[in-house]
C-alpha cells in the first residue's frame, strides 16, 4: 500500500444505517481500484475500490450480513455481503478465492482515505474522462500477484494457499 499503516493497525467500517459494524484486523493484502464494466455497473460509479484481506482478519463487531449470489465477469460468480436493512455492500467473495479472501469495499470503512489503491486494473474499460495518477501502477486487464504484490502480502497469500484448496 502507498501509505502502509503500522502492522497492528485495524480499520473499522460498516453500513450506512450502522446496523452492521466490522473491523479489519490488519492492513489488506492489496487494494484494487477496478475499472471493469461489471464493477461500474454494480457500484453505479466509475470504479470499485476493494481491499483484499484474509476472511479470518475481518471481524463482525455488530449485526450480521446477508449474502447475495451474483454473476461476475469470470462466469464463476461472486457472493456479496450486505447489510440486511440498508443493503449496503460491505465485501465480496469471488469464486477464485472462495471464502478465504474478502474484497472489502473501501468506501464502507470509517476512514477510507487510509486505504488508497495499490493498483488500477481493467483500465482498458475505464471511463475516458477519468485521469489516473502517474504514481500508482495500472494494468489494462488483470495482473500476476507475484509481479505486483509486496513480499509480506505474498507470504500471507502462501499461508492461505497452504490452508485452502482454493487459490486467492
Question: For the chain, what are the domain ranges?
Answer: 11-160
Q: Which residues of 107-142 are buried (b: 16+ CB within 10 A; e: fewer)?
A: bbbeeeeebebbbbbbbebbeeeeeeeeeeebbeee
CA distances 115 to 11, 88, 111, 141, 161, Å, are 9, 19, 8, 22, 25
At 107-148, the pLDDT tens digits run 999 999 999 999 999 999 999 999 999 999 999 999 999 999
Residues 86, 19: contact at Cβ < 8 Å?
A: yes
- Given this model, what pLDDT does residue 73 score? 74
CA–CA gap between residue 150 and residue 27 (Å, rounded): 12
Residue 131 has what DSSP assignment?
P
Angle at 164 between CA 161 and CA 166, to 5 degrees: 85
**Which 3 state secondary structure label does DSSP give 135?**
coil
- Given this model, what pLDDT does residue 131 score? 97
Class of domain 11-160: mainly beta
Residues 141, 122: contact at Cβ < 8 Å?
A: yes
At 38-85, the pLDDT tens digits run 999 989 999 999 999 999 999 999 999 999 998 777 777 789 999 999
Q: What is this structure's pTM?
A: 0.89
Provide the strand spans (E) within the chain: 11-14, 21-24, 30-34, 48-54, 58-62, 66-70, 78-82, 89-94, 101-105, 119-121
Amino acid at each position: 500500500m502507498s501509505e502502509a499503516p503500522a502492522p497492528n493497525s485495524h480499520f473499522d467500517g460498516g453500513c450506512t444505517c450502522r446496523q452492521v459494524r466490522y473491523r479489519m484486523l490488519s492492513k489488506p493484502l492489496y487494494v484494487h481500484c477496478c475499472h471493469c464494466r461489471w464493477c461500474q455497473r454494480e457500484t453505479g460509479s466509475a470504479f470499485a475500490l476493494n481491499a483484499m484481506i484474509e476472511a479470518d482478519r475481518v471481524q463482525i463487531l455488530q449485526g450480521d450480513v446477508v449474502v447475495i449470489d451474483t454473476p461476475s465477469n469470470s462466469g464463476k460468480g461472486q457472493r456479496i455481503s450486505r447489510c440486511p436493512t440498508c443493503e449496503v455492500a460491505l465485501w465480496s467473495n469471488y469464486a477464485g478465492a472462495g471464502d478465504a479472501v474478502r474484497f472489502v469495499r473501501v468506501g464502507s470503512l470509517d476512514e477510507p482515505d487510509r486505504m488508497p489503491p495499490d493498483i488500477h486494473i481493467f483500465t482498458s474499460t475505464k471511463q475516458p474522462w477519468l485521469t489516473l495518477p502517474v504514481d500508482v501502477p495500472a494494468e489494462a486487464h488483470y495482473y500476476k500477484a507475484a509481479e505486483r504484490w509486496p513480499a509480506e502480502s505474498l507470504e500471507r497469500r502462501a499461508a492461505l494457499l497452504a490452508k485452502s484448496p482454493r487459490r486467492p
